[in-house]
Chains A and B, each alone.
Chain A
Amino acid sequence: MSTDTDTETQNLTLVQAVRDGLRTEMQRDDDVIVLGEDVGKNGGVFRATEGLYDEFGDDRVIDTPLAESGIVGTSIGMAAYGLRPVPEIQFMGFIYPAFDQIVSHAARLRTRTRGRFTCPMVVRAPYGGGIRAPEHHSESKEAFFVHEPGLKVVIPSTPADTKGLLASAIRDPDPVVFLEPKLIYRAFREDVPTGEHTVPLGEAAVRREGSDVSVFTWGAMTRPTMEAAENLADAGVDCEVIDLRTLSPLDRETIVDSFEKTGRAAVVHEAPRTGGLGGEITAILQEESLLYQEAPIQRITGFDTPVPLYALEDYYLPSPTRIEDGIREVVDF
């Protein structure tokens, strides 16, 4: 599964693993350059780049003017030249000025030049709700980028995966949108390999094996989904929980195999329901495994509303109770 250079580990939070992943890849490859708003001297508003400015200097950790389109557009130029830029967008809700650069250029530079120019760039952004943040700081719009051919989309849910997936994304020859679940940036620690560590893109992880129902999720929703699964286990329902980790390209094989074992499925995501990845996963199961299906597939998701200001966000985000309720609908059908 993962490739490590040694067996030493450090006990890190997810955001520390981001930093460690960046640092390890920057030590490995001089072409890796971090740029964005407040990533240098300040070490990032979430401290994800803390210490990198002092270690690598201002040629490799670049504080930029406040300009998302400029940050990503500049990164595309650097990537076309042959560097490996890792631009940070401070919050996913502020990525939209860069949307044109990402979808019109990063995603298709390879296609447009038949590989003469490529865009090995990783756009990092914290995403998701649940931290009582101000407006526009809680978005989960991964589906926008999954919808764009030419991009890869990755969302880790554990510290070790964060480091390993980030390293793979940086080494990947194509542009990757790397979304970090800020709700769990500091929620727990895990042993993370100290040296080089990669986790391949495009492979889901089975977080809990089970026989009654397959529950597909990713990122910050993995924890409440696991909590719901444990509660249901006490009630005699055996959930298999699959953390997709890479949303584009999807690991269709793991998704289908699990469903063909259980015959029942739910998808949990905090993004709005309509046009979210739940629909795509459901369609894959319809295409591949219709005859295994024993119940309607449930989507347990954010609502088709803007993320509300934080007084109501607990109602918006799928909670363990809501996830449990949805899984029961599938199992009791």
Chain B
Amino acid sequence: MSDVFDRDPDDRVRILDESGELVGDLPDLSDAELVDLYRYMRLARHFDERAVNLQRQGRMGTYPPLAGQEAAQVGSAMALDPRDWIAPSYREHAAVHVHGLDLADILLYWMGHGAGGWRADVNVLPAAVPIATQVPHTTGVALASKLRGESEGSDSPRKTGEAGDSEESRSSDHRTKSGDAVACAYFGDGATSEGDFHEGLNMAGVFDVPAVFLCNNNGWAISVPRERQTASPTLAGKAVAYGIDGVQVDGMDPLATYEVTRAAVEKARTPGDRPRPTLIEAVQYRFGAHTTADDPTVYRDEAEVEAWRRRDPIPRLERFLRETGRLDDAAVEDIEASVRDQVSAAIERAEHTPRPDPDAMFDDVYAGLPPALRDQRAYLHRLRDRHGDDAFLKD
């Protein structure tokens, strides 16, 4: 794939076509890793279905579904080393899970619980809910990594702390690579219209930092279609203005998203002939709503959704794996069962996590509790003693 970056912005990288046929070179992944890629996508799809249902049943708040976007998230995250960083948007449940966040902690965040959405020993920044704000953070993490130059097989800079249950993180199979830790931003097509996108990519180019900017172009920013987001023919082409590489990839091809991200990460780790940062435009589609509060039938045609469903990344990889003897009925059934169990266990843990103590509101605003906040915390204690918690809680 030496030609990944020597191509026009609209020359989309493809490896596995919609029918599961190889149309490019198979990436350097073992059979087990290829099955992992498939399993993670199945897990993400099932997690997503359960999460939407939890919201529908009033067991969780507003949730942003990812169905359709599994390949770009899983393929790209599998190309990262555990010491690399992710700065996600709010829809990257699969990517941050592959990188080490527990599913239960992801659910907890959407259940309104501050203990969720992060993990002490995982380099995943909290999901950026405002749009594109994580792009300059990514440049900053990458700049720090470059300045500190943790190269040549140095240990992970991650702090170890309170470890959650380590359900299913990928740390066992990571390959340590030389060079700097890479920072990877995940954001959508709408984010490319924000000022922070421009500022973050511009600085990444100027400082030549080890960063990958992965744009999950799913076609719609809530109700606004990609062609109304920018008059630019591609999003990948925007990289030209920043003097960095830009490449478009079939975002529903898990092998291509893996390979393009892998190549971008490799290029980022050490200075070379090309700019270190890369903007990847992964062209894909969100099958569902923007969030559970959104009704996409108001603004897009079902025929369009159906057309994209035929490009679903999961069946195409399954077909390839089956036809090449890497997967059979028994293995698929095992994966289905284990995925169900894993998601059920995560929901069980999230739902059995007690409501946080109200003190949690005050305790981490600063490293130390200022006097005014101490007074406010004590005031809330007095109120709860006087009136009981039921006087406050609506549910």
Contact surface of A with B, Cβ cutoff 8 Å: 37-38, 40-43, 45, 63-70, 93-94, 96-97, 132-137, 273-274, 303-306, 308-316, 319, 321-322, 325
**B27 on the A face (CB < 8 A):** no
Please tell me if the beta carbons of A315 and B361 are within 8 angstroms of each other in the complex.
yes
A39 vs chain B, min Cβ distance (A) = 9
A132 & B112 in contact (Cβ 8 Å cutoff)? yes
Question: Shortest beta-carbon distance, B357 to chain A, in Å?
Answer: 9
CB atoms of A65 and B193 under 8 A apart: yes
- A67-B194, A132-B112 known, 14 other contacts, Cβ within 8 Å: A37-B224, A42-B222, A42-B223, A66-B194, A66-B224, A67-B193, A70-B195, A97-B196, A136-B129, A303-B373, A309-B113, A310-B112, A312-B114, A319-B392
A133 touches B61 (CB 8 A): yes
- Interface size band for B: 35 or more
Tell me which residues across on chain B come within 8 A of A325, comparing CB atoms: 383, 386-387
B222 and A37 form a contact (CB under 8 A): yes
Chain A residues, Cβ within 8 Å of B148: none
Contact call B394/A314, Cβ cutoff below 8 A? yes
A68 to B358, CA, bound (A): 33
Determine how close the nearest CB of chain B comes to the CB of A45; give it in whole angstroms: 7
Question: In the complex, are the beta carbons of B392 and A314 less than 8 A apart?
Answer: yes
Within 8 A of A (CB), among B100-122: 109-114
Given A37-B222, A45-B293, A66-B224, A311–B111 Cβ distance below 8 Å? yes
A312 interface neighbour in B109, B294, B356, B373, Cβ under 8 Å: B356
Give Cα distance in the complex from A38 to B223, angstroms.
6
Query: A65–B361 contact, CB under 8 A?
Result: no
Q: Which B residues are CB-close (under 8 A) to A316?
A: 361
Whether B230 is near chain A, meaning CB under 8 Å from some CB there, is: yes
B224→A308 contact, CB < 8 A: no
Q: How many Å lie between the Cα of A319 and that of B393 in the bound state?
A: 9
Q: Are B62 and A134 in contact (CB under 8 A)?
A: yes
Chain A contact surface mostly? loop
Question: Inter-chain contact count A-B, CB under 8 Å?
Answer: 128
Do the beta carbons of B299 and A41 come within 8 Å of each other?
yes
* A322 and B383 within 8 A (CB): yes
A220 to chain B, nearest CB (A): 14
> B372: CB under 8 A from chain A?
yes
Partner among A45, A69, A309, A313 whose Cβ is within 8 Å of the Cβ of B222 = A45
For A41, list chain B residues within 8 Å (CB). Answer: 223, 298-299
Whether the pair B112, A42 counts as a contact (CB closer than 8 A) is: no
Asked if B110 and A134 sit within 8 Å, CB to CB, the answer is yes
B391 at the interface (CB under 8 A from A): yes
Given contacts A38-B224, A304-B365, contact A45 B191 (CB under 8 A): no
Q: With A67-B195, A311-B113 known to touch, is A304 a contact of B62 (CB < 8 Å)?
A: no
Assembly CA distance A316 to B112 (angstroms):
13
CB distance from B14 to the nearest CB of A (A): 28
Using known A-B contacts A41-B299, A70-B193, A305-B373, determine if residue A321 contacts B391 with beta carbons closer than 8 Å: yes
* A66/B191 in contact, CB under 8 A: yes
Give Cα A305 to B375, complex, Å.
13
CA A134 to CA B387, docked complex, whole Å: 28
Collect the chain A residues with CB atoms within 8 Å of residue B291's CB: 134
Interface residues of B in 168-187 (CB under 8 A from A): none
Which residues does chain B contribute within 8 Å of A64, judged by CB atoms? 224
Closest CB in chain A relative to B107 CB, distance in Å: 12
Alpha-carbon distance A258/B299, docked complex (angstroms): 50
Task: Report how far A273 CA is from B365 CA in the complex, Å.
Answer: 15
Bound-complex Cα distance A93 to B195 (A): 16
